[in-house]
A and B are shown apart, each in its own frame.
Chain A
Amino acid sequence: MNTSSPTVHVVDDDPAVRQSLRALLKSMGRRFAGHANAEEFLKSYDPEKPGCLILDVRMPGMTGLELQKELERTGIEIPIIIVTGYGDVPTAVDALKEGAVDFLEKPFSRKALVDCIDRALAVDRRRRAIAVECGGIDARLASLTPREREIMGQLIEGHANRKIADALGLSVRTVEAHRAEVLRKMQVPSAASLVRVVLLSQREAS
Chain B
Amino acid sequence: MRKAHAHEQVVQDLPRLGETTFKAIFDMAGTAIIVFDLDGRIREFNPAAERLHGCSRQDVVGKRYMGLFVPKETRNSLRSEMRKIAARDIGHDLEISIHTADGQTRIISWNGTRLRDDEGTATGMIAIGQDITARKQTELALGESERRFRDLADAAPILVWMSDIHYKCTYVNQAWLDFTGLTADALLGDAWANLIHPDDHKLRLPEYLDAIERHVEFKMDHRLRSADGTYRWIYGTSVPRTDTKGEFAGFVGCSIDITDRRRAEEKLRQTNEALEGRVVRRTAELSASVRELRSEIAERKDAASRLESVMRNSPDFIFQTDRDGRISFLNRRLHGDVDDVLNTSMYAWVEEEAHPRLDTALRRVFEEGVADRYEARVTGNGTAEKGTLFVFDISPVILDEHVQSAVVNARDIGAQEQAERRLREIESELAHALRMSTMGEMAVAIAHELHQPLAAVVNYSGACTELASAGGARGTKLLSYLDQISSQTLRAGEIIRRLRGFIEKKEPERGPLTMKSVIEQTAPLLKAEAKHHGVALEFALANDPPTVLGDRIQLQQIIVNLVKNAVEATRDNDENNRRVRIETSAPTDGSIVEVRVSDTGPGLSGEELRRAFEPFYSTKPTGMGFGLSISRSIAEAHGGSLVARDAPDEGATFCLALPTMRQETSREY
Q: How far is the CB of B392 from chain A (nearest CB, A)?
A: 64
A109 interfacial contact with B, CB 8 Å: yes
Which residues in A have their C-beta under 8 angstroms from that of B447? 85-87
Instruction: Indicate whether B232 reaches chain A with its CB closer than 8 angstroms.
Output: no
Instruction: Decide yes or no: A19 and B466 within 8 Å by CB, A24-B460, A63-B534, A110-B458 being known contacts.
Output: no
**Interface pair B534/A23, CB less than 8 Å apart:** no
A21 in contact with B459 given A16-B484, A61-B575, A85-B448 (CB within 8 Å): yes
Distance in angstroms between the alpha carbons of A113 and B447 in the assembled complex: 21
Stretch at the interface among B282-290, B449-457, B515-523, B621-629: B449-457
B448 touches A58 (CB 8 A): yes
Residues of B within 8 A of A17 (CB): 452, 455-456, 459
Min Cβ gap B524→A in Å is 13
Q: Is B455 a contact partner of A108 (Cβ separation < 8 A)?
A: yes
A146 within 8 A of B: no
A-B contacts, CB under 8 A, total: 88
Number of contacting residues on B, CB 8 A? 32
Given contacts A27-B470, A87-B447, A106-B451, is CB(A20)–CB(B532) below 8 Å?
no
B533 to chain A, nearest CB (A): 9
Least CB distance from B491 to A in Å reads 7
| Interface check A28, CB cutoff 8 A | yes
B179 at the interface (CB under 8 A from A): no
A63-B575, A106-B452, A107-B451 as given contacts; A58 in contact with B462, CB under 8 Å: no
8 Å CB contact of B460 from A20, A61, A86 = A20
Majority DSSP secondary structure for residues of B touching A: helix
Q: Taking A23-B484, A86-B444 as contacts, is the C-beta distance between A106 and B531 under 8 angstroms?
A: no
Contact B456 A20 (CB under 8 A): yes
- Interface flag for A47 (CB, 8 Å): no
User: Considering the complex, which residues of chain B in the window 417-452 have a beta carbon less than 8 Å from any beta carbon of chain A?
Assistant: 444, 447-448, 451-452
A59 to B535, CA, bound (A): 9
A106-B454 contact in complex given A27-B466, A58-B531, A58-B534, C-beta closer than 8 Å? yes
A20, B488: Cβ atoms closer than 8 Å: yes
Secondary structure at the A interface, as helix, strand, loop or mixed, is loop
Chain B residue contacts of A86, Cβ below 8 A: 444, 447-448, 451
B446-500 contacts to A, CB under 8 A, are 447-448, 451-460, 462-467, 470, 477, 481, 484, 488, 491
Check: A14 CB closer than 8 A to any chain B CB. yes
Interchain nearest-CB distance for B640 vs A (Å)? 32
Which positions 17-58 of chain A face chain B at CB distance < 8 Å?
A: 17, 19-21, 23-24, 26-28, 58
Would you list 27 pairs from A and B whose C-beta atoms are within 8 A, ordered by A residue?
Answer: A16-B456, A16-B484, A17-B452, A17-B456, A17-B459, A20-B455, A20-B456, A20-B457, A20-B463, A23-B463, A23-B481, A24-B466, A27-B462, A27-B463, A27-B470, A60-B536, A63-B575, A66-B575, A87-B447, A106-B451, A106-B452, A107-B458, A107-B459, A108-B455, A109-B462, A110-B458, A110-B459
Closest 9 CB pairs of A and B: A20-B459, A27-B466, A85-B448, A110-B462, A107-B455, A23-B463, A20-B456, A16-B456, A24-B463
